[in-house]
Structure 1
Amino acid sequence: MPRFAANLSMLYPQHDFLARFGAAASDGFEAVEYLFPYDFTAAEIKLRLENFGLTQALFNAPPGDWANGERGIASLPGRESEFRSGFQKALEYAAVLGNDRIHVMAGLLPNEELRQKHHAVYLENLSHAAYEAAKVGITVLIEPINTRDMPGFFLNRQDQGQAVCKEVGAGNLKVQFDFYHCQIVEGDVTSKLRRDFAGIGHIQIAGVPDRHEPNMGEVNYPWLFEEIDRLGYTGWVGCEYRPKGDTSEGLQWLRDWKARNPG
């Protein structure tokens, strides 16, 4: 049975961030993930994890100026030193929080004519991140994101992500497989999952097309959960969706799945 992690950047929006840990634990989650921890000290977050018996599954490295529209800086020329210092900060947080996965966002591509230049910077930065992360047993993740939600994002397809990992050649650099993004950009998600399984380092879910609960929309998640098990995936599955209503009420999909798949 897949192990599900609550994405606290999206779930429980009625609560302040630090209160979401307790809410997730109350609903039976054993792990959490989120975009960024940096508005709080690592010690503050660690206390919540310990108090509620939660595992930290994943968070992102600093993304640049998020409030002003930046969506990562790993591929941005001229920002290499900022990327490296930001990734070091992420490693420091991970050392306290205990997660062994850090997601690095590629950033936006201003136009296709600049792709080659951005690609070279991306490879260099990912090589650096993977090298530093390997020293402490951490896997670096990259994620293809659909351009409907994030226009201009540098990385959009699963095969692109896998090709980047092959170019870098680091064993601890893997692709984050978000069924929501993959379905919007590519479809045929089961075949993509099977094809790339060896290079997948984390899985996330959401309903398509509206990014609500996974029991809403066009994707057959019960089938995919069984396929995840068949493939032998043992990592966390991040619930990165926007609740249509109350988060806890909307988790009936998870309660139903657990009832059908006890143990």
Structure 2
Amino acid sequence: MNRRNFLSKSALAAGASALPMGAALASETQANLPADKFKLLYAPHFGMFENSAGKDLIDQLKFMADNGFMALEDNGMLGRSVEEQKKIGETLAKLNMKMGVFVIDGGDNWKTSLATGKKDFLENFLKTCRTSVEVAKRVNARWATVVPGFYERRLPIGIQTANVIDALRRACDILEPHNLTMVLEPLSDTPELFLRNSDQTYMICKAVNSPSCKILFDMWHMQRNEGRMTQNMDWCWDEIGYFQIGDEPGRNEPTTGEINYRSLFKHIYDKSKAKNQEFIMGMEHGNAYKGLEGEKKLIEAYRWSDNF
């Protein structure tokens, strides 16, 4: 629906831009926003709609698809049984849903840092990459999250960066033949983490120089670490492979914090369409409101934010 035409039909259109986000969301939701698929591939995770769909993972997938969400992400996929992975993969295929990221996690990979250059850390990481290839085949995944780990204070930053680049090049030798792309995630959880900013991640991806090494641009982390998100997206665009969502503060759904997700979603949509690209938008956040009603509000928030 064209936003200008939509507003012209709304009885509250004249004052909509002056309303607080929650009030604007309520007014547009009441005006019967379209209930079909979203413009972008938003990817919920298991548990997000448990009150609506129950605990069964397959029922949750069906609920997601019925409400227009045509992708899934599951950070813990690597830890699921082979049988469960196959069942999830088969259901995704039947529903015509895409698989988003899972985490290539060789234990506590924040503390087990590739920045150290230690052989045992590297070998464990590469072993997990090989396992991840088989998992990706079962669920038809093309993206997997990688976090290089903690900053190594005993080494100069240039040596740490070279260690990370070398490890990622070795991983690409494993992933690239299987069309699996690791997406590097700069994080805001603690300053102890080696990878913190989009420009740093961009530089590393350029140095690795592989289609299997790209950026995971998590907008919650990037709001906290650097801001200027559309500018930083544009600077790093050619190396971005995946986006994640979370409003700040609170790390919940759009419209619950300070980030203008409607504007960001439009920017990503317009730029990706112009370049004939498609991105999965991982919903790596909590629900601001609890229970069945909270899940309904979450869906309404995405309907509002996607209505650009």
* 2:99 is the alignment partner of 1:61: no
Equivalent position SS for 2:282: strand
TM-score if structure 2 supplies the norm length?
0.74
Say if 2:178 is the partner of 1:136: yes
Deviation (angstroms), 1:23: 4.8
| Counterparts in 2 of 1:119 and 1:237: CA distance versus 1, 3 Å | same
Residue 157 of structure 1 aligns with which residue? 197
**Residues 217-232 of structure 1 mapped to structure 2, 5 A cutoff:** 217-232=257-272
Task: Looking at secondary structure, tell me which structure has more strand per residue.
Answer: 1
TM-score computed with the length of structure 1 as normaliser: 0.86
Give the deviation of 1:44 after TM superposition: 0.9
- 2 CA distance for matches of 1:153 and 1:128? 21
Q: Which has the larger radius of gyration?
A: 2
Q: Give runs of aligned pairs for residues 1-263 of structure 1, distance below 5 A.
A: 1-8=39-46, 11-12=48-49, 18=57, 20-51=60-91, 53=95, 54-65=97-108, 70=110, 73-78=113-118, 79-111=121-153, 113=155, 115-146=157-188, 149-232=189-272, 233-246=277-290, 248-249=295-296, 250-257=298-305, 260=307
Amino acid at match of 1:11: M
Q: CA RMSD in A?
A: 2.4
Please state how far the C-alpha of 1:38 moved relative to its aligned partner.
2.8
38-47 or 152-161, larger mean C-alpha shift? 38-47
Contact 1:63 1:105 in 2 (8 A): no
Q: What displacement does 1:26 show? A: 4.8
Q: Tell whether the 8 Å contact from 1:58 to 1:103 is kept in structure 2 after alignment.
A: yes
Q: Structure 2: give runs of 5+ residues left out of the alignment.
A: 1-38
Q: Contact between 1:72 and 1:107, CA under 8 Å: does it hold in 2?
A: yes
Equivalence for 2:9: none
1:75 is displaced (CA, Å) by 3.2
Q: What's the CA shift for 1:200?
A: 0.5
Q: Distance in 1 between matches of 2:221 and 2:202?
A: 15
Identity over the aligned pairs, expressed in percent?
Answer: 23
* Local SS of the residue matching 2:285: coil
Following superposition, the deviation at residue 193 of structure 1 comes to 0.9
